[in-house]
Chains A and B, each alone.
Chain A
Amino acid sequence: MKFRYRRKELQVPRLELRVAGLSLLIVALMTIVVGRLYYLQVVRHQSLAELADRNRIRIRRLPALRGLVFDRHHRPLVDTVPSFDAVIVPEDVDDLSATIERLEQLLGGGNVAERLQQAEDDERPAYDPITVEEHLDWNQVVALETHQLELPGVSLQVNPRRHYLYGQLAAHLLGYVGEVSRTDLQHPGGYANGDQIGKFGLERGWENFLRGDAGGQEIEVDAVGRRLRLLREIPERPGDGVVLTIDLDLQQVAEQALGDRSGALVAIDPKTGYILAMVSHPAFDPNIFTGGITPADWHRLMVDPGHPLQNRTIQGIYAPGSTFKIVDAIAGLQDRTLTSSTTYNCPGGLWYGNREYRCWRKQGHGTLALHRALVESCDVFFYQVGAHLGVDRIAQWGHLLGLGQKTGIDLANEKTGIIPSSQWKRNRYHERWYPAETLSVAIGQGYVSVTPLQMAQLAAEVANGGVRYKPQFVKEVDALDGTPLRSYPPVIEQRLNIDQENLDQIRDALCDVVNGPGGTARKAALPNIVVCGKTGTAQVVAEKQGARTNEKALSDQLRDNGWFIAFAPKDNPQIAIAMIVEHGGHGGSAAAPAVRDVLEKFFALYPVNTPVSPAPAGHPEIQAKAPQPREF
């Protein structure tokens, strides 16, 4: 028997019924939502509201430990030390004025109200912790800790602070850090309020290596802002270490050599362009910028007539004076307008056009050739050399040697100085070049101006045979564990083709400047090392020719700037130095002895392995009885 189950007649589903079904589902689900909200907001309101009050979360930024800075032998120059700071979260404070009063009482002073006002002006949100006092001493820390309960919203934070181990040492090179400005914050880079940022010098230039990456903590705090526990943490990544080419010992001696005189000193390795020491005085203590410089300190730096913030090695522009005669000599010899046997007569001055151009030595040098002209720094000889070359050829060689242009050192705001040419004068003054002006240029006066770093470069070029290196002060960047991340090999900017015999002639002359009888820089001589150099004394204000007054009687501001540039040893030079002493008078007396001290230290630190050739005897051209000259 067959049994067939008969199904109901199939219907087409009715749209209205399905819509009605959906409506029911919607009503049901929404009712559940309402029920849940009723449960949370009415039934459990009390306990959840309590949790809300108690259970506050703070996001704390963990500033990264800034990278350390080392000298060439990995001795630390700049490090980071912990500082105890008092911070306020304005939102957590019930009675702000009372809290401020009590806090200042506990700290024994401070300008808490001012700092809070500043934060408000900066539009810092009320839940952001504001640092109101840094570097708390032990007593202040204890006072704050014990009275924590009276001070809701106030807490202690340990923040890393930049510390410059040697204070003013190499301050302009190292630079300083400060709190990010509002402009910094507008640029991308992940900075937050209160972060430290490099503002000057190395700190600024190597900011991206030194800064590291900030981390963060999610902290649960109670109703009075005390930390309950750490919820989450993203660890910070400390900044990379920067190893300088600077030698700490040499830098210290160089700082002492300049002393409290104004001026600059740059010592360079002529084989690499690495800077060994870099001094600019007066200097400042970068530590005062850390954690915000006080307005009083800032004002003091700003109004200081010595401009301590100026890095004179790259921003000070000075007339090179007689040191520029090296450029004349190279230009003349290379352009064949001058040979070793070319002689000029110096009767004490040179009539050119309708006026007399004086030599610094009134009685004149008599007839002399290049060697003696450099040794005794005869002006008339180089007036002649300059006149035969013409300003444009001097300028060409000046530029080739790196003068009157940026050296390319990685420091901000380097000045160029000026090596004038006829084209330059047309552009600048819309006037043609007068041949007489060339004479001033030839002795490094007039429009000529250079920076001490450029002069150190010049010394290095004569020393290494005409290779212009980019001056560098960073050797490498290291990770925290010391693995090198990046190194800075020497960079050759230009290789000059200077004939060997011409170089030898100039070197011989520069050797006798220091070691020969009649040389202007005999105070720079070392017993075992042959030092070569050239002095310069540059007028600060144009003096009336011939109306030279007693230097000592001149007020400090009008005294000449004393230059000395040098390299040593003569064969296979290891170091090149340029030094200027502002208003120091003669380069031979003001700068040469100081450079000697630096050289002495250098060769104590880095003894010359190769046997040093004995100091050459006096050049035959030089008369044994030549008077100790005053040079111009």
Chain B
Amino acid sequence: MAGIDRRLVLHFDWTLFALSLGLAAVGVISVLSATYAGPHHRLDPLVIHQLTWIGIGAFLMIAAAFLDYRALGAYAYPVYVLTVAMLGVVAVIGHSTGGSRRWINLGVIKLEPSELAKLAVVLVLVRYLREEPPKGGWRLRHMIVPAVMIMIPVALVLRQPDLGTALIMVLITATLMFVGGLNWRTMAILATAAVLAAPLAWHYLKPYQRERLVSFIDPHSDPLGSGYHIIQSEIAIGAGGEFGKGFLKGTQARLNFLPEQTTDFIFAVFAEEFGFAGSLILLTLYALLIARGIWVARHARDRFGTLLAIGVTAMVFWQATINMGMASGMLPVVGIPLPLVSYGGSSLIAMMAAIGLLISINTRRYLF
């Protein structure tokens, strides 16, 4: 085979590629809005950075698409070990911003290993669950090894502290275990244990995280403190109305009342300017991406491909849903980027590479 198999090019999944770029475009528009300071001002450097990362991400997406995903099984553990090592490095010498240590400063760029860790968690779980489950499904004893493997990065991420990423990792794990064939009874036991463990977890939360939870339950209990952002985000989204205030016409978002207006609260910026219609378009893009991901999972030629596709899809789905649920005041504030839309190189590039894997799975069912 000289270079790349012609069939790979022929059956390239343009749908996934186009949907990703469409969402990335929404991201660029929103970052532009969030940083816009007036007609006489230069383009904010964040917009340029975002465009650069989309370029790098698109390249990696194509590269990943041409990668034989089955080979990933062999790399799952090394990738996992490397990622855990990077999280360990962050814990020791990481670069801190706003009170948490999440980045490794590489000079030109700051790497956020927790974004890569999500992908590593998917890989290592899929690698483990690719075996057929026993009759009746996986029991508790089967799940001890993967659970321990997941707990290590989750604990490291929680230490940063990054509750959002830890939560996403746990949700991805739960999703993959469920799809991978967990025994129903085991599932019920685990769910009960999770509920019972909640008060214990409360004990380990940082004070600000507790505040967020309390203010979520009743934002008006402390409208000027931590409940403030939930209220303001709701106002921004609601002020958008049916068709929005128009591109660059949003006022709420630009007045600096939202923290992370280019990252965690980017949806509020978008929703204020493009209204319910815009929100529906964005949700449709996600729905199509997720639907395509599930379609790829169902049509994959092997169990490994199916589970990998489910893992990637779950990553998109949970992040998008929780982010929007948080911005619209349905969920407590946790730092989770809106996939492909939020500003940030590590999350964007990791997400695009992951979708490249989806394309790879889809393309290769024609090959074997």
Contact = CB atoms under 8 A, between A and B. Distances in A.
Interface of A: 10-13, 15-16, 18-19, 21-23, 26, 29-30, 32-34, 36-38, 40-42, 44-45, 47-49, 51-52, 55-59, 120, 123, 125-127, 218, 231-232
Contacts of B182: 13
A29 B328 CA distance: 14
A19 B299 CA distance: 11
A19 B297 contact: yes
A19 B224 contact: no
Interface stretch (B93-101, B157-165, B211-219, B237-245): B237-245
B328 to A, nearest CB: 5
24 contacts: A12-B134, A13-B181, A13-B182, A18-B178, A30-B321, A33-B283, A33-B330, A40-B234, A40-B238, A41-B237, A41-B238, A41-B276, A42-B242, A42-B276, A48-B237, A52-B235, A52-B238, A120-B40, A125-B38, A127-B254, A218-B257, A231-B224, A231-B228, A232-B224
Given A18-B179, A19-B298, A40 B328 contact: yes
A510 to B, nearest CB: 63
A460 B93 CA distance: 54
A58 B41 contact: no
Given A11-B136, A12-B135, A19-B310, A52 B256 contact: no
Interface in B55-92: none
A52 B183 CA distance: 50
> Chain B at the A interface: mostly helix, strand, loop or mixed?
helix
B319 interface: no
**Cβ-closest 9 pairs across A and B:** A48-B238, A13-B181, A52-B239, A10-B136, A41-B276, A10-B135, A125-B37, A57-B257, A45-B241
Contacts of B137: 12-13
> Chain A at the B interface: mostly helix, strand, loop or mixed?
helix
Contacts of B228: 231
Nearest to A123: B41
Contact of A22 (B37, B294, B330): B294
B237 A40 contact: yes
Contacts of B297: 19
Nearest to B283: A34
B38 A22 contact: no
Nearest to A57: B257
A30 B330 CA distance: 12
Given A18-B181, A22-B178, A41-B275, A33 B325 contact: yes
B135 A11 contact: yes
Given A15-B303, A16-B298, A42-B242, A127 B255 contact: yes
Contacts of A44: 238
Contacts of A29: 317, 321
Nearest to B276: A41
Interface of B: 37-38, 40-42, 132-137, 175, 178-183, 224, 228, 232, 234-242, 251-252, 254-257, 271, 275-276, 279-280, 283, 286-287, 290, 294, 297-298, 303, 306, 310, 314, 317, 321, 324-325, 328-330
A604 B143 CA distance: 92
Contacts of B132: 12
Contacts of A47: 238
A18 B238 CA distance: 37
A380 B228 CA distance: 87
B133 A126 contact: no
Contacts of A37: 237, 271, 276, 279-280, 283, 324, 328
Given A19-B306, A56-B251, 6 more contacts: A29-B317, A40-B238, A45-B242, A49-B241, A57-B255, A123-B41
Contacts of A59: 256
Interface centre among A29, A32, A48 (most CB of B within 10 A): A48
A12 B181 contact: yes
Contact of A42 (B40, B241, B286, B328): B241
Given A12-B132, A34-B280, A58-B255, A51 B235 contact: yes
Contacts of A18: 178-181
A602 B2 CA distance: 96
A522 B42 CA distance: 70
Contacts of B134: 12
Nearest to A218: B257
Given A41-B240, A45-B241, A55 B235 contact: yes
A16 B309 CA distance: 13
Interface centre among A37, A57, A218 (most CB of B within 10 A): A37
A36 B239 contact: no
B182 to A, nearest CB: 8
B238 A15 contact: no
B306 A15 contact: yes
Contact of B179 (A11, A19, A36, A49): A19
Contacts of B324: 33, 37
Nearest to B137: A13
Given A12-B133, A19-B297, A49-B238, A57 B256 contact: yes
Contacts of B234: 40, 48
Contacts of A13: 133, 136-137, 181-183
Contacts of B237: 37, 40-41, 48
A126 B38 contact: yes
A126 to B, nearest CB: 5
B6 to A, nearest CB: 31
Contacts of B290: 26, 30
B325 A36 contact: yes
